[in-house]
Structure 1
């Protein structure tokens, strides 16, 4: 399905939904301000004058908007399969990958909010993200199962062009989930730093995906954009209130 500017129709639907998600995030954060303060999920802005209480844990609102957007978006990439004549075979592997990614993201958002409420210890913060990444790792194992990596040029004379990591590949991906979550979370306390860093990272990934749309791995980059575009705009709405 081709649409405006040569982009696939699902991406344009995703973009429109993301803009609505931005507006929803900007609107809902002040709307729920009183609820968070009443639940004592609040603090004082040490970077500004005055002692007014401000709500904390607002990432759960942008996270909820993000999930709702993508839950509604689930059928859009598969619209062709609602018309028998246009559907050769339902892409079950893409559908499972989409659902698996959403499940892992949902678990991460839940763990982030639980940390704010329960003040989890560091040993929990190290173990729980690994467990939350298991659905995604299982989807990758069943759909692809490729554990071979391209060796960096300085090490190719020793290890060769490719190296099969085997089970260590999945160990690495689980540890990467721990790093990604805590690398952002550890910056909490400085206005706009967490949301700002996430915004810069997502913007760079979006630019890379768009540049690579004409390459050999087009479908992979389109799949990445399904998540990155809503994440960018919902995070932008969070950053608007996070200065």
Structure 2
């Protein structure tokens, strides 16, 4: 079904059709970049005057830096989507092959913006009110309900493709019913919090989000070129291109040394954006592949996230003002005070050399905090903040390349039909 008019061009001996709405979307995305680049520096004083500022703990100079600037990026991103709404759904382009208006696609787009808007609101509330940790678990679930309802009314497909080694026993597919909606709700929770957990140095949240977004865009383009479900992947591009445009401008001011902090608002915005395109674009499992570093960081952080090992409020690396280098931050506890699961985690992590610990004669253990940021410093030794960010960003890129290898060459060894 072709919803939109398109332009055809020839390159490398092949013919390609680019839908007119996609061209307009790219122009709007470029505009989002320039508007963000113009607006962010002019709003710094406004945020400081509103007491939305903080001190960069990894710098020797303790000047006030405006924070929660993710709300600016989020608003520009939303305005870009608002401006784009008339383009794909204008009368000249929107009618399908039967001459009907594609109400299902329109509802999807509105629901996507509603969920993203909800997360921007909740993220900004977290930056201002400092919400409790458990609030960060159920709020993304609530914000994802519009997506799940649209998925239910438009598709309601709850069938998963099974690997070959299972298919011989129970078949090539399995309908898991309501569990599929539980999975999608958990996906929204994970995406919004995973980026938030892997944070704490200048530019890291923005860099990892940009790598994930660009990876999904490349995946969408590949799928469109090979002719798979064109509408779903175009929908994803319509969401992600303005996001990348607005986020690139934010990265310019958030990279080392940061002029602004992004706050939890940006992390929630990014996570929900990725969840939106994954759920409504029907490639949620592929989206998770691009979250390999965040999954590793979550698993590594589990002992502290679930309070099996004492977890300080901030697990940021420690800055040494004499050398201007970052050292891994530490936590301390008595092994005798841990419950059985805590003792098990401590023994396993220590045996696998995933932590560096020292125990004094009184039984007090001092070890690094359980994040891959601290683990990277444990491997490299004291390191400059900008170099650490480049190292972790390169790890994100390598994981994205690995994700593509899993999604394409390796998938054929495990599945009869790629999903």
- Under a length normalisation based on structure 2, what TM-score does the superposition of the two structures give? 0.56
Instruction: Determine whether 1:29 maps to 2:46.
Output: no
Aligned residue in 2 for 1:90: 101
- Number of aligned residues: 242
Which residue, out of 232, 237, 243, partners 1:225? Answer: 237
Whole-angstrom distance in 1 between the partners of 2:163 and 2:205: 31
The CA distance in 1 between the partners of 2:138 and 2:94, in whole Å, is 44
CA contact (8 A) 1:81 1:87 kept: no
Q: Pick closer, same or farther for the CA change 1:87–1:29 going to 2, 3 Å.
A: farther
Contact 2:21 2:87 in 1 (8 A): yes
Could you say what secondary structure the match of 1:7 adopts?
strand
SS at match of 1:122: coil
Q: Comparing both structures, which one devotes a greater share of its residues to helix?
A: 1
Verify the 8 A CA contact 2:140 2:188 in the aligned structure 1: yes
Gaps of 5+ in 1: none
The answer as to whether partners of 2:202 and 2:254 remain within 8 angstroms in 1 is: yes
1:162 Cα offset (Å)? 0.7
**Cα deviation, residue 208, structure 1:** 0.8
Q: CA deviation at 1:188?
A: 3.2
SS at match of 2:240: helix
| Structure 2: distance between partners of 1:173 and 1:83 | 29
In terms of Rg, which structure is larger? 2
Alignment correspondent of 2:339 = none
SS across alignment from 1:216: coil
User: How many angstroms does 1:153 deviate by?
Assistant: 3.2
Question: In the alignment, does 2:186 pair up with 1:175?
Answer: yes
TM superposition shift of 1:181: 0.2
Contact kept, 8 Å, 1:29 with 1:61, in 2: the verdict is yes
Q: Structure 1 residue 3: deviation in Å?
A: 2.3
Aligned to 2:120: 109
Distance 1:83 1:115, change over 3 A: closer
Shift of 1:206: 0.5
More strand by proportion, 1 or 2?
A: 2
Q: State how far apart, in whole Å, the 1-side matches of 2:201 and 2:169 are.
A: 44
Residues 46-195 of structure 1 aligned to structure 2 (within 5 Å) = 46-81=57-92, 88-195=99-206
Task: Quote the offset at 1:158 in angstroms.
Answer: 3.4
Answering whether residue 6 of structure 2 is matched by residue 2 of structure 1, we say yes
Aligned mates of 2:165, 2:58 — CA distance in 1: 46
Instruction: Give, in whole Å, the separation in 1 of the partners of 2:248 and 2:29.
Output: 11
Instruction: State yes or no: 1:239 paired with 2:240.
Output: no
Work out whether 1:18 is the aligned partner of 2:19: no
Deviation at 1:4, TM superposition (A): 6.1
Instruction: Note the residue ranges of structure 2 that are not aligned, 5 or more in a row.
Output: 10-16, 256-419
| CA deviation after TM superposition for structure 1 residue 83, in Å | 9.1
Alignment equivalent of 1:209, drawn from 220, 240, 258: 220
Q: Note the C-alpha offset of 1:87.
A: 8.0
User: Are the aligned partners of 2:22 and 2:238 in contact in 1 as well (CA < 8 Å)?
Assistant: yes
8 Å CA contact retained: 2:47, 2:53: yes
Q: Aligned Cα RMSD in Å?
A: 1.8
Q: Which moved more, 1:186-195 or 1:149-158?
A: 149-158
Distance 1:139 1:83 in 2: 19
Structure 1: 4+ residue segments shifted above 4 A: 81-84
Deviation at 1:24, TM superposition (A): 1.1
TM-score normalised by structure 1 residue count = 0.94
Q: Hey, what does 2:312 align to over in structure 1?
A: none
CA distance in 2, matches of 1:81, 1:143: 24
Q: What is the alpha-carbon distance in structure 2 between the residues aligned to residue 142 and residue 150 of structure 1?
A: 21
User: What's the CA shift for 1:81?
Assistant: 4.6
Per-residue Cα deviation, 1:112-161 (whole angstroms, up to 9, x for no partner): 11111111111100000000000010011011111111113343233321
